[in-house]
Amino acid sequence: FISEDGCYLIDQSKINSLDDVVDLISINPCYIDQINPHYFSMNDESVGVCWDTGHANMMNFKQEDAIRFLGKRIKCTHIHNNFQRQDLHLPPDCGYIKWEDVMHAFYEINYEGPFTLETHCLYPEDDMLRAFAKFNLAGLDMIEKYYK
């Protein structure tokens, strides 16, 4: 059903397959503080969410609070950065994300899933790709030190 604020919530009685879940939640994203855990949760620990740092940054979420709220429901991540105006998929150390707060929250919830880098290089030349890869590794090293 749809809540008064237009946020789509999952009616568990209508879920028979993963396709039903995708149909129900891919229409309109909810703000984290509007998710009711009763409707969000399913009795299956293998179902969860992918936390996308860049998208959350664009939505101006206080990411550390959202990560703590979602806790064990976070199963994977997409790690990238931006300046909150466009979904640029920049390396971690380019943009406005406060990585110390974000990574500390992942540590607090004992997140054990992958930190998947989801950055885009717009230049296909070999030298640019190599430089971009090194830049991304430096960004991952930077955020890894905050996972404590």
* Predicted TM-score (pTM) above 0.85: no
- pLDDT per position as a tens digit, 106-124: 999 999 999 999 998 888 8
Handedness of CA 22, 24, 27, 30 (dihedral sign): negative
**Average of pLDDT values for 33-52?**
64
Per-residue confidence at 1, pLDDT binned at 50, 70, 90?
very low
CA distance 129 to 97: 24
- The pLDDT assigned to 46 comes to 64
Percent residues over pLDDT 70 in the chain: 68
Q: What is the mean pLDDT of residues 36-60?
A: 73
Residue 6 reports pLDDT greater than 90: no
State the Cα–Cα distance between residues 79 and 119, nearest whole angstrom.
8
